[in-house]
Chain A
């Protein structure tokens, strides 16, 4: 059963930066682009991560350090065992002439999407953005890929500015409008992509994150307000239609207790 826990040894670790690494693991499961796995670090915790590439016998996850779990994970070495459950959720649709838009670590699931599109001989353009060069995993690989355009806020690599600055150029440069826009990254970026896609009447599929525990749609942790959609089962990739049923965009997400933090920050004393 794929949903049950299986532990595997880490085969290889690629350190993109001290705070950004890719783990190569035995291929005990087949994930579609955008699907995720639950990664168990025995004795620590278990958290969701997208699959960022695969090979005949391996799968990869790419992890950015943001807190206690990811920091512990980044200290793991080849031979250490991780538990895996999954794959969970629904992935991106594989569509010719896709426009991929990634922000920071959001480029990880897009990497598997680009891989699948290439395997099927489907054309795509990939706008890969980050705050700075150091936040882009697989920089070398991205720079070699003619379908990729790079953007950094500080201009340390690629075009200066956000992926959204590249949006209009990308639309103008492609002979036919994209058949599907696929996005992954921070939520404000995703909501901007959604707006832009709506303006240009383009179909979108965007990868969202919420606090998740079970991965199988039971614990209720990642249910979105409005339609009650379970992001771990019916997401994490959402279509425009799915997004329309959701009323919580722009609100601070519910935490591990299920409580949504107050919208207005507490008044600070002068």
Chain B
């Protein structure tokens, strides 16, 4: 048996490492390349009912401790994306997670229905947490537990047998409470976290924000501690599998998220900081680690950092 295999909402990933949404996620061929590099599942760029060009550039800004991004949900639209997903599935056996978004609560349900009418991804991921479209959509739905739960319900009603993960943000009073509301509405998994903030960087010479959108979500090394804490809180509150995401570039980072309670580990910015080899490198580290510890799977490590986890998990 493959010791790195994990199960998320009934779907087997041959590795816990998942390509996070928005990175190399616009086409079947680029998703395939990441799958071949060792990802256990790949997530598409979030797509909505209509094609979007996204914000003008600069949309992505590396700095010393991470990255700001304000891509602005550029995507070809669900119908086109369904075609890319179908092509990916014809070319790879790695599970594909289709990420969807809506401008309104109702649009999430419509996007799910339109996508699933054409293709059957391994999971649906509901992005209620994009931090860089605030000027257009208002604050992310994920800031509001009730709205997140309603969206979860709308998508679940259209999803049939396809499991639904809800992608959450730290832009809320308690991410664990939002997760709990989504779980009650039928979510099958939680992905956490989306990029944080949003943040801003200003060029001192031209005296204006560098991102065309002015603000953008913070990702990369800077947010690893936030992601570890978010996964920790969610794991203590809901019994759902978690795709822990945020700041992972090194094997120890992935291990921290697993020890905090994640079943799978998303990697976005790490594709930049660690190169595409990041997947292969972390996979071999984890395999060696299990071997050295005499473990046959990652199960024993999941949430192992929680004191007396078995009792607390049901109370949190």
A residues neighboring B (CB under 8 Å): 1, 3-5, 7, 38, 40, 42-47, 81, 83, 85, 213-221, 223-230, 247, 254-259
Q: A221 to B71, alpha carbons, bound, how many Å?
A: 11
Tell me which residues from 53 to 111 in chain B have a Cβ below 8 Å from any Cβ of chain A.
53-54, 56-64, 67, 69, 71, 74-77, 80
State how many angstroms separate the Cβ of A37 from the closest Cβ of chain B.
13
User: How far does the alpha carbon of A4 sit from the alpha carbon of B29 in the complex, in Å?
Assistant: 28
Shortest distance from the beta carbon of A94 to any chain B beta carbon, whole Å: 25
Cβ of A213 and Cβ of B27 under 8 Å apart? no
A258 / chain B contacts, CB cutoff of 8 Å: 26-27, 45, 74-76, 80
Are B30 and A228 within 8 A (Cβ)? yes
A230 and B30 contact, CB distance less than 8 A: yes
> Chain A residues near B45 (CB, 8 Å)?
220, 258
Tell me which residues across on chain B come within 8 A of A44, comparing CB atoms.
56
Cβ contacts under 8 Å, B77 to chain A: 257, 259
Q: B272's contact among A5, A217, A228, by CB below 8 Å, is which?
A: A217
Chain A positions within 8 Å of B63 at CB level: 1, 4
Which chain A residue shows the least CB distance to B24? Answer: A220
Distance from B152 Cβ to chain A, minimum over Cβ atoms (Å): 27
Contact of B30 among A4, A214, A220, A257 (CB under 8 A): A220
Interface stretch among B135-143, B200-208, B232-240?
Answer: B200-208
Chain B interface size, under 10 / 10 to 19 / 20 to 34 / 35 or more: 35 or more
- Assuming the contacts A213-B71, A257-B75, asked whether A220 and B26 have C-beta atoms less than 8 A apart, the reply is yes
B25–A46 touching, CB < 8 Å: no
For B51, give the chain A residue with the smallest CB separation: A257
Question: Can you give 21 contacting A-B residue pairs, CB < 8 Å?
Answer: A1-B64, A4-B62, A5-B201, A45-B56, A45-B212, A46-B56, A47-B57, A213-B74, A214-B59, A218-B67, A218-B272, A219-B60, A220-B26, A220-B30, A221-B74, A228-B24, A254-B27, A257-B51, A258-B26, A258-B45, A259-B76
Partner of B33, one of A45, A227, A255, A257: A227
CB-defined contacts of A43 to chain B, threshold 8 Å: 208
- CB-CB under 8 A from A216, the residues of chain B are 60, 62, 272
B269 touches A256 (CB 8 A): no
- Decide: A257 near B61, CB < 8 A? Known: A5-B203, A43-B208, A220-B25: no
- Point out the residues of chain A lying under 8 angstroms from B32, CB to CB: 228
Q: Which residues of A contact B53 (CB under 8 A)?
A: 255-257
* Chain B contact residues, majority secondary structure: loop
Q: 12 new A-B pairs (CB below 8 Å) besides A83-B203, A257-B51, A259-B77? A: A4-B61, A4-B64, A43-B208, A46-B57, A213-B54, A213-B71, A218-B22, A220-B26, A227-B33, A228-B32, A230-B30, A257-B77
Q: How far is the CA of A247 from the CA of B67 in the complex (A)?
A: 32
When chains A and B are docked, how far (Å) is the Cα of A223 from the Cα of B30?
A: 6
Q: Which 10 pairs show the lowest CB-CB distances between chains A and B? A: A228-B33, A259-B76, A223-B30, A258-B26, A46-B57, A228-B29, A214-B60, A220-B26, A228-B30, A256-B53
How far, in angstroms, from A219 to B205 measured CA to CA in the complex? 27
Contacts of A256 in B (CB 8 A): 53-54, 74
In the bound complex, do residue A38 and residue B59 qualify as a contact, i.e. CB atoms below 8 Å apart? no
Chain B residues contacting A38 (CB-CB under 8 Å) are: 57-58
Chain A: minimal CB distance from B274 (Å): 11
B-to-A contact residues, CB < 8 Å: 22-34, 45, 51-54, 56-64, 67, 69, 71, 74-77, 80, 201, 203, 205-206, 208, 210, 212, 268-269, 271-272, 276
> Which residues in A have their C-beta under 8 angstroms from that of B64?
1, 4
Q: Name the prevailing secondary structure of the A interface residues.
A: loop
Given known contacts A218-B272, A258-B45, is B29 in contact with A223 (CB within 8 Å)? yes
Give the residue name and chain of the A residue nearest to B29 (CB). A228
A227 proximity list for chain B (CB < 8 A): 29, 33
Q: Give chain B nearest CB distance to A78 CB in angstroms.
A: 15
Which residues of chain B are within 8 angstroms of A213 by Cβ–Cβ distance? 54, 57, 59-60, 71, 74
**How many angstroms from the CA of A46 to the CA of B29 in the assembled complex?**
26
User: Are B27 and A220 within 8 A (Cβ)?
Assistant: yes
Query: Cβ of A229: which chain B residues have Cβ within 8 Å of it?
Result: 33
Q: Smallest CB–CB gap between B66 and chain A, Å?
A: 11
In the bound complex, how far is the Cα of B171 from the Cα of A110, in angstroms? 48
**Chain A contacts for B74, CB-based, 8 A:** 213, 219, 221, 256-258
Do A5 and B271 touch (CB < 8 A)?
A: no
**Distance of B178 from chain A, by nearest CB (Å):** 27
Assess the B58–A223 pair: CB atoms within 8 A: no
Task: Report the bound CA distance from A4 to B58 in whole Å.
Answer: 11
A215 to B60, CA, bound (A): 9
- Give the distance to chain A from B194, nearest Cβ to Cβ, in Å: 15
| Chain B contacts for A218, CB-based, 8 A | 22-24, 60, 67, 69, 268-269, 271-272
